[in-house]
Structure 1
């Protein structure tokens, strides 16, 4: 019996002891986070799946795992198909599968601290129609059978200085208080970890590569707030920084505080996308009046102020110097045939750390050789590690967390000689990248309206890619930040219906992936900025590119580029050379950059 078979059997035994017939296991935490602490990796522990998005559902005689197109190959490599059937999202959702496979009279459990109210209500309604009940579990049953489950991080909080935030925590709380008054609400629960960090100008290290702390916050209409966090994590410096109007209470006292808010008859604002079902249930049961509103930190966090934008630009130039040195090292080292994915990722990390300003990576580096590059969210491990072969493609998607900004950049290079098909596909990706980078659009435009610009040249070649084109990026916060996105409705990140606003930072990352052979992605970050157009009727916006690193000219089929596209590429490389050359400390590196950014 495999380790995952025995874990699945143990879960079924635990469910039976609780009079439950099934259970739903999402990959998230009590804050509906995309990236979670090790203690919350319940899906990975149960199934072996190491992707960053997925759900499993378990019944007495069968189980299923649900993933989107980014993980179609990965989930089949990591999860035993004899234990779990593979279900493709969005075609099949957990509720669809449970409705089809569960029997009348069954009790399906879920963790109300790991589910949204919307999901719980919709799933409950569907299953009830078949005589199946959806029941919140008293504690998560996986926690009861996971003997060496890591404890939540005890790392201390840190201060995010106003000189980097551009606005004090007191000013942010005052703005939220004004908003609460306009909504005639007494308080708002802020549950999203990056919103808590942004609101109070604090940072943490409780989630790998995302500088946040496991905490909830309640902000009241008088501008005061309570931070629910393990008290030992709050240093005297952090207490002084937050000020006398911010109280600290134990995180495990959060549920009791919600109940008290209900008993006090308060009107409480909750964002249903980040406040889990348990929060709604506790407040409602205690008598609170609940109003559903968007997290008031969400949009101000996404629309960066001038200080945050200048910090991000500086971080990207610093980071671009590191990436450029890495690309030179790859060109020199990889043709020897001994370099592998883990070695490449480690080298890039070492180069980034040489600035002494790197706080962390912004995500696990995607260091992908050959067929592994065809997995958009590939994560290298000892088991999957490949050497970078001659005449193959190497894709590296990486980023850094700096106090003044968060970076995310992807470069695809050929080691040796590319095939004509590689060049043709790469150039189509490049043309889409340029089309998006150069587009101007009226104020109010959504990401869904721009997404096809990045795909149109691939579509003309009869190919596409199965992920979104752009995600928001934080300011020394989450590398994936909402609400802004650029995505088609039928790809992960769907629902990119947020109007793009000046000051937002997004990625521009079209790609192409040939299963079993190679993958291509070109990613820069951009800032939405106002555009002055002679004779324009209304306000217009465009993108300022802030990522600077060479694009591999060995993969460009120059004859496929229009004169405007060629001008953009040459102009971009002029900017890379001008901004990155001062970051390079020796003449050899500078000479390499000059050649890598030569005009074509």
Structure 2
């Protein structure tokens, strides 16, 4: 959905209900029994292995009621485990019936859980189009006594009103914004295939980047449902519904051949190999087809991942422009928020006003994810989504956490700010300052080239660790260039093993969450850049972060005495830059608010 219409982008309807789970679970178990299975796996992912899925593919939510963006359910005859990570431990409790048991993941891995539940072995079904090569290998290694059976999708059998597959139109992303012609990308990647004849690409954002196109099949993420084969000769076969590309004209050019999606399997069977697949994202079904046809398989990372992550100068310039536009909308929103009496707003009111400010830019194409507007205890639910049923009033003495972003043709934004409503307590202010210190530490960081996110992210946690606190999510994720708001392989987390390179955009978002009371998160986006040289330095190449997000951080929540002089100087300089960049774009009343918000500590 585009942002230039009248309909709101975000819905507040309850998408799944716990009471629907038990009868659906019973129907699924009946199908398992018919197939002679002791269990079946229902993942969140679709065949493209993206974080967000179309309504047709939202099988996990349909079955269990859980609507988080990561997880899976393992259904056995006597139990059904819903595997969720630290972001969703609170959310899952209110979304699933007692028939489902939340399982802390990755502390408990699915294969370990299955092996313990089926000590004498058994047959567990899975859909080979929804399971990756790497995922199946882990299951088979972790539960060697269990037979994992490829077969039909059992949820699809019982889902009577399952939506149709999306047919969203595809548009071209101009070379001026991409910074590189897609013909050049195809040629460069084809040359890197080595001895392979082809590589199979199944991730929609990789295809969107490679061909300089954007789609509309997935809400919030401008990607098309498609698959592709990149051939060593510098050609691409794109498997996509013809209706989707009707508006592309001759954009794809002579290097790209378009074929119907249902011809993908037949095309795979004609490849002689070697053929490269990415085991982390390639469906088992693809590998099965290739092996059956006698093609040799080479395992290698999706060739688009790293070049997509390292943004061109044009993409970085677009990100700066998108963030400047988005920052002005955020400041207008924050000024409005401050003018509202405590208790006069609901969480939905907050979401609607922020969306209206972004739409008023005239450039918003979509929000980059459903806005998180969590007041008081709802702020402690990391990925809280407000609905008509949960909509709470924003009361005096609470913290309000707002995590949001926009999709613009020149860039994707993601920003979190935590604000006080009226007067808040000393504990909230102290915790906020600890989180702020961690965010500043990342912002000021310099490091030798070659280090990965796991080598750096602890600096954001030190101020919290010193007080016996922590948070259960990564410090930062990669962000696309008018693509997915969550992009790999770059990340600031304990699992971030890919070296950070110039041009990579990431979030910087430490937090703290006190269950039943409040949540705090402060998030800016940053881009990796070469660090300025230091006279006498002995490290030849160092990197640093350039901040992209310039929106005031709420000074009323800062305990200034807890900051070091260097931290205070950074914050004052940050606010001075916010003021210089934003003041010319604002009306007199909002400028007056900005004057106060950006005053030195």
TM-score (norm 1): 0.95
Aligned position for 1:86 = 102
Conserved in 2, the CA contact under 8 Å of 1:59 and 1:102? no
1:53 aligns with 2:70: yes
Residue in structure 2 matching 1:317, options 314, 324, 348: 324
CA distance in 1, matches of 2:357, 2:501: 34
Aligned position for 2:588 = 587
CA offset digits 1:512-566 (Å, max 9, x no partner): 0000000000000001110122222310011110101110001000111111111
Residue in structure 1 matching 2:133, options 107, 117, 123: 117
CA distance in 2, matches of 1:228, 1:67: 33
Q: Aligned-pair RMSD on alpha carbons?
A: 1.2
Residue in structure 1 matching 2:174, options 137, 161, 168: 161
Quote the offset at 1:275 in angstroms.
1.1
CA distance in 2, matches of 1:343, 1:412: 16
Aligned position for 2:7 = none
Aligned position for 1:268 = 275
Conserved in 2, the CA contact under 8 Å of 1:533 and 1:540? no
Quote the offset at 1:449 in angstroms.
1.1
Quote the offset at 1:251 in angstroms.
1.0
Conserved in 1, the CA contact under 8 Å of 2:190 and 2:234? yes
Conserved in 2, the CA contact under 8 Å of 1:373 and 1:519? yes
Aligned position for 1:459 = 465
SS in 1 for 2:209: helix
Residue in structure 2 matching 1:75, options 79, 92, 99: 92
CA offset digits 1:102-136 (Å, max 9, x no partner): 2535211011111111221231244343xx31101
Conserved in 2, the CA contact under 8 Å of 1:577 and 1:597? yes
CA distance in 2, matches of 1:330, 1:223: 53
CA distance in 2, matches of 1:536, 1:472: 29
CA distance in 1, matches of 2:397, 2:167: 47
Quote the offset at 1:405 in angstroms.
0.5
CA distance in 1, matches of 2:120, 2:471: 40
Aligned position for 2:484 = 478
Conserved in 2, the CA contact under 8 Å of 1:127 and 1:134? no
CA distance in 2, matches of 1:579, 1:459: 35
CA distance in 1, matches of 2:267, 2:83: 35
CA distance in 2, matches of 1:324, 1:48: 36
SS in 2 for 1:512: strand
Residue in structure 2 matching 1:248, options 258, 262, 275: 258
CA distance in 2, matches of 1:503, 1:533: 21
CA distance in 1, matches of 2:470, 2:140: 36
CA distance in 1, matches of 2:287, 2:143: 21
SS in 1 for 2:535: coil
CA distance in 1, matches of 2:394, 2:140: 49
SS in 1 for 2:520: strand
Aligned position for 1:339 = 345
Aligned position for 2:187 = 174
Aligned position for 2:298 = 291
Quote the offset at 1:376 in angstroms.
1.0
CA offset digits 1:179-225 (Å, max 9, x no partner): 12xx1111111111100000001110111100001000111111111
CA distance in 2, matches of 1:393, 1:212: 35
* Structure 1 stretches of 4+ moved >4 Å: none
Aligned position for 1:535 = 536
Quote the offset at 1:496 in angstroms.
0.4
Residue in structure 2 matching 1:398, options 404, 414, 418: 404
Listed as ranges, the matches of 1:394-543 within 5 Å are: 394-488=400-494, 495-531=495-531, 532-537=533-538, 538-543=540-545
CA distance in 2, matches of 1:516, 1:435: 28
Stretch deviating more after TM superposition (510-519 or 245-254): 245-254
CA distance in 2, matches of 1:566, 1:124: 53
Q: As a proportion of its length, which structure holds more helix?
A: 1
Aligned position for 1:371 = 377
SS in 2 for 1:241: coil
Tell me: CA distance 1:533–1:173, structure 2 relative to 1, closer, same or farther (3 Å).
same
Quote the offset at 1:239 in angstroms.
4.3
CA distance in 1, matches of 2:351, 2:411: 21
Conserved in 1, the CA contact under 8 Å of 2:133 and 2:281? no
CA distance in 2, matches of 1:564, 1:60: 59
Tell me: CA distance 1:435–1:126, structure 2 relative to 1, closer, same or farther (3 Å).
closer
Quote the offset at 1:86 in angstroms.
1.7
SS in 2 for 1:542: strand
Conserved in 2, the CA contact under 8 Å of 1:318 and 1:583? no
TM-score (norm 2): 0.95
CA distance in 2, matches of 1:591, 1:126: 61
Aligned position for 1:562 = 564
1:150 aligns with 2:163: yes
Listed as ranges, the matches of 1:382-397 within 5 Å are: 382-397=388-403
Conserved in 1, the CA contact under 8 Å of 2:44 and 2:69? yes
CA offset digits 1:429-487 (Å, max 9, x no partner): 01111111001000001111111100000111111111000111000001011111111
Residue in structure 2 matching 1:359, options 338, 341, 365: 365
SS in 2 for 1:272: coil
Aligned position for 1:492 = none
1:36 aligns with 2:49: no
Conserved in 2, the CA contact under 8 Å of 1:185 and 1:267? yes
CA distance in 2, matches of 1:549, 1:152: 39
CA distance in 1, matches of 2:119, 2:570: 60
Where do 5+ consecutive residues of structure 1 fail to align?
489-494
CA distance in 1, matches of 2:589, 2:88: 40
